Amino acid sequence: MMSLNIIVLVKSVPDPKTPPTLKVDGSLDLKNVKIVVNPIDKYAVEAALQLKERYGGKIIGLSLGDHDNIDIFREIIAMGVDSFIYIKDPDYQRFDTLQKSYVLSRAIKKIEKDLGRVDIVLCGVESSDTNMGVLASQIGEWLEIPSISYVDKILEIKNGSIIVKKIIEDGFITLRSRMPVVLSIADTGYEPRIPSLRDTIMARRREIPIWKTSDLSLEFRETVLKTVRFKQIESKRLGKIFRDEDVDKMIDRFFEELKRDGVSLLR
């Protein structure tokens, strides 16, 4: 039996089901927005769980943020990770990807010291709020280990290497890489399991240690990318919506409107 030490990185994001709103000055209005686990990260969790089921080992969930709602991570514990660690930094909102990946890589190093070895680091391909998609590569660079992004599925681990199916522009590519490795997982090859009621109850009783960034002996503390402002996507659309129980009447009005606007569907 192999026994893998796996770390899954999970991000807290504003609930994607709630449309984001802006304040007058172009900054995000995050009042009353529910914080949830980045949905794509759950695919990484599922990938980790399947690896553990197949090869044995230990999964540690890890997240960096500034909020206090650690209960959102209990779902990840209920899904089956062995433990979860939350790193809290009050300056988190200002961090860019360089700082976030650096802090997380130092935390991974600390976990590696305790465990002796980390074999795989997983995360979702991108977060639903910033959509950068750089985390896996940057962590790979900080840790000086290989990284592969846009993994559809992990196929096999054998003799210290890992074989994955990766999504590329016009298809798929199967790659073999040495380990340890950082992988970002897409939402195409896995179906995140829904935890049972029992596991949900048990997860409520588990402790989630909170680390402070000051515990991590960080050297690099700069934020280089600044967000100037956000903008609502302007809709210059006409927004002419037709609604009628009488479908024929509705289509009549629709065609009349097209004619009035000089739009011809047929060419």
Footprint on residues 66-125 left by another protein (CB under 8 A): 71, 74-75, 78, 96-98, 101
| 53 near another protein (CB under 8 A) | no
Which secondary-structure segment (H or E) carries 182?
A: strand 181-185
- Nearest distance, CB of residue 102 and another protein, angstroms: 8
Region of 1-9, 44-52, 208-216, 222-230 interacting with another protein (CB under 8 A): 222-230
* CA nearest to 179, candidates 21, 4, 46, 59: 4
Cβ atoms < 10 Å from Cβ of 46: 21
* CA nearest to 105, candidates 144, 161, 77: 144
Which secondary-structure segment (H or E) carries 139?
A: helix 135-143
Between 3 and 161, name the residue whose CB sits nearer to another protein.
161
- Nearest distance, CB of residue 1 and another protein, angstroms: 25
- Chain mean position to CA 138: 15
| Eight-state DSSP code of residue 16 | T
Region of 2-10, 44-52, 210-218, 237-245 interacting with another protein (CB under 8 A): 237-245
The site string for another protein over 188-207 (x = CB under 8 A, - otherwise) reads: ------xxxxx-xx--x---
Between 51 and 145, name the residue whose CB sits nearer to another protein.
145
Which secondary-structure segment (H or E) carries 101?
A: helix 97-115
Between 1 and 168, name the residue whose CB sits nearer to another protein.
168
| 210 near another protein (CB under 8 A) | no
- Nearest distance, CB of residue 229 and another protein, angstroms: 5
User: Phi, psi at residue 76, to the nearest 5°?
Assistant: -70, -40
Question: 170-178 — which CB contacts under 8 Å span 24+ positions?
Answer: 175/148, 177/146, 177/148, 178/146
Between 62 and 136, name the residue whose CB sits nearer to another protein.
136
Restricting to residues 146-185, name those near another protein by CB under 8 A: 146-150, 163, 166-178
| 265 near another protein (CB under 8 A) | yes
The site string for another protein over 127-146 (x = CB under 8 A, - otherwise) reads: -xxxxxxx-xxx-xxx-x-x
**Residue 229, token pair as written in the block:** 């402002």
Considering just the CA atoms, what is the radius of gyration of the chain in Å?
A: 23
The site string for another protein over 3-32 (x = CB under 8 A, - otherwise) reads: -------------x--xx-x----------
Cβ atoms < 10 Å from Cβ of 167: 17
Between 113 and 237, name the residue whose CB sits nearer to another protein.
237
